[in-house]
Chain A
Amino acid sequence: MFELDQRIAEQLTQVSLGSAVQVRVGTSNSFMVTASTILPLMQMFEMGGVYISASRGAVEIIQAFEAIGIDVSNIHFLDLVSSGVLGGTDVEYSNITFIDSPIMLESTLLRTLYVLRTVNSQRNFVFLDSVNALAIYNDDRMLAEYLHTFINTFRQREVLSVILNVPDQTPPLVLANLDTYCTDLVDRGQVVLM
């Protein structure tokens, strides 16, 4: 039985639209924390949104959500991974848009804005999965700049930003920027024993 972290839902009742929530996860609890964040947003707060998948292909994420009973029909996925895999974009889901590469950060932002213009839900979130995956391909300064733009763009539009990261795999400069600009923190990062 898959057990969700109920305290995340309680914590999310404190945030407002336009907030930027940094969600710190470990390497082993990433999906559990993601599901524990997405589910209340969709069911308790009746939000729709955009899920930016840079860590895994969107199909894999959709299937994982569906397997635990989360309906993702109200979420549009921007898949930054599958274009790099031959045949990865040949899928039947209409709620997936493929971005050429995780380095196309501006395209990702523009596509997110486009999707938000087309969705029906009044209250929306943008879920970025994840900063450490983007850090594989992007320079630290550029990624920090992107996250700064990302947070401010959606705050201005009253769209909730949820930014997932594995802190010990995220460059210090980027992490410092996240700490500064995010309004809330859900900390489920693993303690690393040295």
Chain B
Amino acid sequence: MTRLRVSIRLRLDGLFALIAYKHFINPRPILSPVPMQSTSIYTRDRCVTGIHGLDEILRGGIPYGSTVLAAGTCGSGKTTLAMEFLVRGALAGEACAHFTATEPSVKLLENIRQYAFFDMNMVDSGLINVFDMDVLYSWLGLEKASFDLDDVHALIKSIVDIVNTIGVTRLVIDSVTTLCYKIKSEQLIRDFLFTLGKKLATLGCTTILISEITSATENAHWSSFGVEEAIADGIIVMGDAERMGHLLRFLQVVKMRGTAHSRAKHAIELTPLGVMLIPMLKWGASTDKNSRWGQ
């Protein structure tokens, strides 16, 4: 018995020695190639904004039916960005609507006519439809200082009816802040935005809600009432970076449900051809308080 065990051990020792020898002579690569597994990743259809650089940031565009908050300080380019979003849609044959609460539609169109991307024929042909919120309030009998639940539902119904009737696929409300000032309860604002967003998504309408904020710094809220940012599918922040007394416009996609996206700060320029973006220089976008470059 003892002899047999010794014999087996000797044979096994010889085998290991042979394996070790072969491995030494002809070693197997430590990282042998593993065939890639085919995976099918679901991607949502996109609403291609057509804005130079923005679709690249959003890896193809805004997921269809999303409600996106474009939050920014005054003069940061929110209205121009939103208007270009509509124009690019209209150029692709989509019906678009713009509800303006901050300035009369006539003034809005006069201001936007300076841009080469805008063509008044889009308004005349009904591809871009501009509505004054004041006129809408008047139609609905809502010429009052504050809205209650019934008023809010009437407002949602009228907006959704317009979207449904015209077949709007791109919508802008400029600004949701002005509109929400009339809604006194935070809960009612939440209900208004949630219900509106849900109904517009059902209709396949991609919406930009413009939100006015006073500061676009890191600790700021992205909306005036604090509830808009939680309800929205996406948040695009626009503001000014101060550099040695000069203001440089920037854009940052903070959140966008349904797509991977860049979260870097991008410098923007409002050119006659539309909004243009490039990544902001890292040494110029520093938030380090000790940095020579401020915020």
Residues of chain A whose beta carbon lies under 8 Å from any beta carbon of chain B: 100-101, 103-107, 109-111, 113-114, 117-118, 137, 139, 141-142, 145-146, 149, 153
Contact = CB atoms under 8 A, between A and B. Distances in A.
Nearest to A109: B278
Contacts of A103: 243-244, 246
Nearest to A108: B269
B278 A114 contact: no
A139 B292 contact: yes
B284 A110 contact: no
B276 interface: yes
Given A105-B284, A142-B293, A113 B276 contact: yes
B235 to A, nearest CB: 22
Contacts of B271: 110-111, 114
B293 to A, nearest CB: 7
A107 B280 CA distance: 10
Contacts of B284: 105-106, 142
A106 B246 contact: no
21 contacts: A101-B246, A103-B243, A104-B246, A104-B248, A106-B278, A110-B267, A110-B268, A110-B269, A110-B271, A110-B276, A114-B269, A114-B271, A114-B276, A118-B273, A139-B292, A141-B283, A142-B283, A142-B293, A146-B281, A149-B281, A153-B278
Interface residues of B, number: 20
Nearest to A97: B271
Contacts of B280: 106
Given A113-B278, A114-B269, A139-B293, A106 B248 contact: yes
B59 to A, nearest CB: 19
A145 B273 contact: no
Given A103-B246, A105-B284, A139-B292, A110 B273 contact: no
B107 interface: no
B116 to A, nearest CB: 9
B246 A142 contact: no
A182 B164 CA distance: 56
A113, A145, A146, most chain B CB atoms within 10 A: A113
Contacts of B267: 106-107, 109-110
A145 B281 contact: yes
Contact of B283 (A100, A104, A111, A139): A139
Interface string B235-266: 00000000110101000000000000000000
A106 B267 CA distance: 6
A61 B271 CA distance: 25
A104 B280 CA distance: 11
